[in-house]
Amino acid sequence: EVQLVESGGGLVQPGRSLKLSCAASGFTFSNYGMAWVRQAPTKGLEWVATISYDGSSTYYRDSVKGRFTISRDNAKSTLYLQMDSLRSEDTATYYCARAVWDYGSYVGFDYWGQGVMVTVSS
């Protein structure tokens, strides 16, 4: 059974850093691209970042470029999101998700974790 379990969330002050982790099991982690998607309270889904199966390619939404870094450790089957210079507008539940690959790119996210809450506030 595919499982994705996020951790590392919490309350953090604006301008500070936080690192999220996503432990994967039930599939060959090193064969899949992975992503982070967030959802602010009572709002819709917002794609944050995607990383290729081997970590060689990364993609970010404009509002987090230069502040967030997606990475992975295939030996540990773990996905990470390093979040620096956090802002109040980064407050959200952060989901990790497995990416479906087809003919050269990502065509959806087929398994999702339960999410971890990040609150940026003084």
The per-residue b/e assignment along 26-65, b for 16 or more CB within 10 angstroms, e otherwise, is eeebeebbbbbbbeeeeeeeeebbbbbbebeeeebeeebe
DSSP alpha helix (H) spans, the chain: none
**For another protein, the closer CB: 13 or 41:** 41
Q: Which stretch binds another protein (CB under 8 A): 14-22, 24-32, 77-85, 95-103?
A: 95-103
What's the rounded Cα separation, in Å, for the pair 24 and 3?
Answer: 6
Given the structure tokens 């999410």, which residue do they identify? Answer: 115
- Per-residue interface string for the shown chain with another protein, residues 50-79, x marking contact by CB under 8 A: x--------x-xx-----------------
CA pair distance 103, 87, nearest whole angstrom: 37
Only segment of 23-31, 67-75, 78-86, 110-118 that touches another protein (CB under 8 A): 110-118
Q: Which of 40, 66, 108, 121 binds another protein (CB under 8 A)?
A: 108
Q: Does 110 bind another protein (CB under 8 A)?
A: yes
Contacts with another protein by CB under 8 A: the residue count is: 23
Tell me the C-alpha distance between 92 and 46, whole Å: 10
Interacting residues toward another protein by CB under 8 A: 35, 37, 44-47, 50, 59, 61-62, 95, 100, 102, 105-110, 112-115
